[in-house]
Amino acid sequence: MKDILTAPFVEDMKRATANMYRQGWDERNGGNISFMLEEEQVAEYLDLNNVIREIPTGFDATDLIGKIFIVTGTGKYFKNVEVAPETNLGIIRIAKDGTTAELLWGYADGGKFTSELPAHLMSHMARLKVDPQNRVVMHSHPTYTLAMNHIHELDEQKLTHTLWEMCTECIVVFPEGIGVLPWMVCGNNEIGIATAEKMKDFRLVIWGLHGIYGVGKDMDEAFGLIETVEKAAQLYMLATASGKRINTITDENLWAIVERFSLQEQCRKDFLNL
C-alpha cells in the first residue's frame, strides 16, 4: 500500500488550499473544497474496507452512494493543510443509506468535514448531470469579488456583463456567465439547494456578500475560474475608484471574441446588448 501523504489528490489539496490562503481568499477557517476521487486510485493508498467511523451528513445524497471524496474539515484553516493534512483533510465515502459518510482517512483529531458538505454534494450531483468531468467544488471568499458585491447590482446579467467588460479573457473563461444568489444563511440545506439549481446552468455561483462557488474537472480549472473572476472584480474596483471609465470592451467586441473562439453555443448571448 502506498503512503497516502504522497497521493496526487492529497498534494492537489495541499497546493490549492495554500494558494487560496496566500491569495487572501480564505481567511481563518473560511472556504472549503471537495474533490471526487476514483475508487481505483484511492485503493492504491487505503484499505477501502477499513471504515474509521461513520458521520451523518444531514443530507440525502442517494445519487452519490459509493462515491469517494477528499474534503476540507470544519473549523480548519487552509494555511494548516500543508503541514497537517491528516488533521485538516478527510477522505469519505457516501454510505449505502445515502445520508452517512464513511471516514476512510483523515480528521485525525476527531473532527469532520466542512459544514458546507451538503451544498457541495448537491452541487456535485447537479454538475455531474451536466458534465461528468466536473469533479471539484471549490468555495472561497475572494476580496475584490466581495467588495464588488457591495457596490454592484447582484443581478446575473448585469454582474456577468460588467465582468466580461473588464478583461478580454473573461468571456472566454466563463462564456456561460455567473449565477448569483442573494445573501442567505450559510451552512444549511436551503443555500445548498439554491446553489445546485444555479449549477445546472453555471460553473460559477456567487453567494451575495459571502463568496463564490466554482467547479471544474480538476483543481486548476476550478481555481482558474475563481481567479479570473477575482482579477476582473479587482479591475472593476480599481477603475471605479478613479471616478470614471472612458474606455470599455463593447458588446460587439465581446461577440467578436465569442466568434473567434467558437463559443457561440456556450455563450449567454442574452447577457449581451446586441
User: Catalytic positions, please?
Assistant: 116
If you compute the radius of gyration of the chain from its CA atoms, what whole number of angstroms results? 19
Cα distance between residue 260 and residue 129, in whole Å: 28
d(CA 13, CA 89): 8
